[in-house]
Structure 1
Amino acid sequence: MTKEPIADARNLFEALHDGEDAVLRLLRAGVSPESVDEDGTTVLYQASVEGLTGAVRLLLAAGADPDRASGPEAGDLPLCGAACGGGAEVVDALLAAGARPDLPEQFGFTALRWAVGLGYSRIVEALLSHGADPDLAGPEGDPPLVLAARRGSVRTVRALLRHGAGSRSGALAEARRTLAVDVAEEMRRGLIETYGAHEVVVDRAVVDGGVTVTVELLRGGEPFAGRDQQTGHGAVATVLEGELGIRVPAEELAVRALRGGGPELDDWHEQVSALWSRGDEETFLAAAAWCAAGDPALRAFGADVLGRLGFRADERPFAARAVPLLRALAREADDREPVRAAVTALGHHGDRSALPEILRHAGHPDRGVRYAVASALSGLAPADRVDGVAALVALSGDTDARVRGRAATALTELGGGGS
């Protein structure tokens, strides 16, 4: 007995949660890949919103229209739903099937507007690579670059700049404005204005190279409303200033780096890159002074800058002056980050004279420092590295996998084989 079409459609929606084989069986049995439910939602839209990449690919291969609008008002698009949910692989599949990246859904939102506003840099890059307009404003009228600057996602900003986005001055003004704002407090106030006074929970997590702050309101101990915000506005401002040829005092860049979180984050790296690219006496003197500062984080920042100076032909005199400062820091520093930064910087310079300062930290309790030692030894010429073989052998048996791998690689390059 032949099933009614609505029953077939319902089965296909249910099959989304039973796995790709279940979806494939129904499609092969003749169920339409354009099936809709009672509310007018297409099965492709549902799969896209839920991030079901395999099901999306099967539906597209069976003939589902990647641009077909969905929902009671026929105002929702699969590409926008995937972008809003952060489904990068689904976005890739839809674009490969011909989805138009600038097609607006209800209220004028495009996939790029959703992705930029939510800081999904990987999706932003995919959309731009498939022809999305980097200057197409959303329904609020703000250009994408301004929205990205407000969001605080330096990777999204860089993606837009690579594809020629304009409104750079406006974006810089927005980044600088937000630098002076307590984003957690701003979100808290906004939520309370909307929903009234409730218990507030604030969470911070490293996401996509920066710190994302999430503020949630609780009712009966359970979250019912929330907002999140990336905080890479210092990095965003520095990137935009570079694009506009604006030279910011070195001290301001150092403040941004320290306020941004830590050496593993984009805020820190962007400030180091901006200073290193200057390669001048003023920058060298500033970094040298930071290496002697009382703040361990500032000493680490100074070491990271000195570790990058001296590699262009016009900067080579800086290397000869930087190595003694870095050796002194490696000898005298007690805090983890200055030690890590000094050892890493000495490895960049590859100066054999620094071998004693590098080796003295081979047994450091912090795995990041031990990894820096293995990397620094790898940065030495093979003939200079020989004196560090014993340390590399010990590090090749380290409890941390990254340290073991780095040390083993350095030994293999020497012909030691790691044993």
Structure 2
Amino acid sequence: MGERNGPAERLVGAASSGDTAEVGRLLVEGVAADAPDGERRTALDRAACAGHAEVVDLLLRAGADPGQPIGEYGGDQTPLTAAVGWGHADVVRLLLAAGAPTGPQTRFGWLPLVHAATGTHGDPLALVDLLLEYGADLEERQRGLTPLEWACGLPRPEMVRHLLARGAVPTLKARARAVYWGARQHPEQVDVFREIVAALAASAAAR
């Protein structure tokens, strides 16, 4: 546990509030970029979750680890999965440029691309494109499902069409997710899932 108001606590607090000047001052004074506070949260953790891009940039330049485990539950996320989940595209780009991995994250194997494909914050389509730009694999699986297969279980035909257009494979599992999972979970949107099934069929026929 850190001091109640020690250097690490002040750095994490400044990062959380987006105080770029204070973060910069503390880093110049020698506070380690990844020093955890008393709750074991780091400055990058807080800044990435909050979407403070300037602070994230400062921390990365000071040596913060872009792939570190973060989160209030003992490392259930990474800065990248958190930033994608909250739709902070500017933070996502900074993390990717700094070398954040796009593959399975933490002990749960979370995939940033699945976070984007199922997300509701920011511009999920743009986040998908950004992750693909940095090498994310459309066919990598989280809990046995590809990003497309995850998306087919939600009433998001625009995301399904986008993933297909970017090259995702329209698998039988994707169709089953739309028919046997999505439509049953969202019976009021059965027509939307029919639209998803039609998009999958059209993509398969064009291959």
TM-score (norm 1): 0.42
How many Å separate the matches in 1 of 2:192 and 2:28? 48
Q: Secondary structure at the match of 1:146?
A: helix
- Structure 1, unpaired ranges of 5+: 186-212, 214-230, 247-419
Whose helix fraction is larger, Structure 1's or Structure 2's? 1
Identify the residue that residue 56 of structure 1 maps to in structure 2: 56
Kept in 2, the 8 Å contact 1:15–1:23? The answer is: yes
How many Å separate the matches in 1 of 2:13 and 2:41? 13
What letter is aligned with 1:46? R
Kept in 2, the 8 Å contact 1:150–1:178? The answer is: yes
Identify the residue that residue 281 of structure 1 maps to in structure 2: none
Kept in 1, the 8 Å contact 2:12–2:42? The answer is: no
How many Å separate the matches in 2 of 1:110 and 1:182? 23
How many Å separate the matches in 1 of 2:187 and 2:31? 49
Kept in 2, the 8 Å contact 1:143–1:167? The answer is: no
Kept in 2, the 8 Å contact 1:124–1:156? The answer is: no
Identify the residue that residue 80 of structure 2 maps to in structure 1: 79
Deviation at 1:90, TM superposition (A): 1.4
2:22 matched to 1:22?
yes
Deviation at 1:173, TM superposition (A): 3.6
Whose strand fraction is larger, Structure 1's or Structure 2's? 1
Identify the residue that residue 101 of structure 1 maps to in structure 2: 102
- Structure 2, unpaired ranges of 5+: none
Identify the residue that residue 253 of structure 1 maps to in structure 2: none
Query: Closer, same or farther in 2 for the Cα pair 1:78/1:240, shift >3 Å?
Result: same
Identify the residue that residue 207 of structure 1 maps to in structure 2: none
Identify the residue that residue 237 of structure 1 maps to in structure 2: 197
Identify the residue that residue 407 of structure 1 maps to in structure 2: none
What letter is aligned with 1:85? W
Kept in 2, the 8 Å contact 1:178–1:233? The answer is: no
Identify the residue that residue 11 of structure 1 maps to in structure 2: 10
How many Å separate the matches in 1 of 2:81 and 2:183? 32
State the number of aligned residues. Answer: 198
Deviation at 1:107, TM superposition (A): 1.9
Query: Closer, same or farther in 2 for the Cα pair 1:87/1:245, shift >3 Å?
Result: same
Kept in 1, the 8 Å contact 2:104–2:142? The answer is: no
2:138 matched to 1:172?
no
Identify the residue that residue 119 of structure 2 maps to in structure 1: 118
How many Å separate the matches in 2 of 1:234 and 1:49? 35
Deviates further, 161-170 or 141-150: 161-170
Query: Closer, same or farther in 2 for the Cα pair 1:132/1:6, shift >3 Å?
Result: farther
List structure 1 segments (4+ residues) > 4 angstroms apart after TM superposition. 176-182
How many Å separate the matches in 2 of 1:236 and 1:56? 37
CA RMSD, 1 decimal: 2.9
Deviation at 1:134, TM superposition (A): 0.9
How many Å separate the matches in 2 of 1:102 and 1:162? 21
What letter is aligned with 2:201? E
Kept in 2, the 8 Å contact 1:116–1:148? The answer is: yes
Q: Secondary structure at the match of 2:153?
A: helix
What letter is aligned with 1:84? G
Query: Closer, same or farther in 2 for the Cα pair 1:173/1:14, shift >3 Å?
Result: same
Identify the residue that residue 132 of structure 1 maps to in structure 2: 136
Kept in 1, the 8 Å contact 2:149–2:177? The answer is: yes
Identify the residue that residue 46 of structure 2 maps to in structure 1: 46
How many Å separate the matches in 2 of 1:21 and 1:98? 25
Deviates further, 58-67 or 234-243: 234-243
What letter is aligned with 2:38? E
Identify the residue that residue 157 of structure 1 maps to in structure 2: 160
Post-superposition CA distance 1:74-126 (Å, at most 9, x none): 44311111122222221111111111111322322121222223253222221
Q: Secondary structure at the match of 1:138?
A: coil
Query: Closer, same or farther in 2 for the Cα pair 1:130/1:175, shift >3 Å?
Result: same
TM-score (norm 2): 0.80
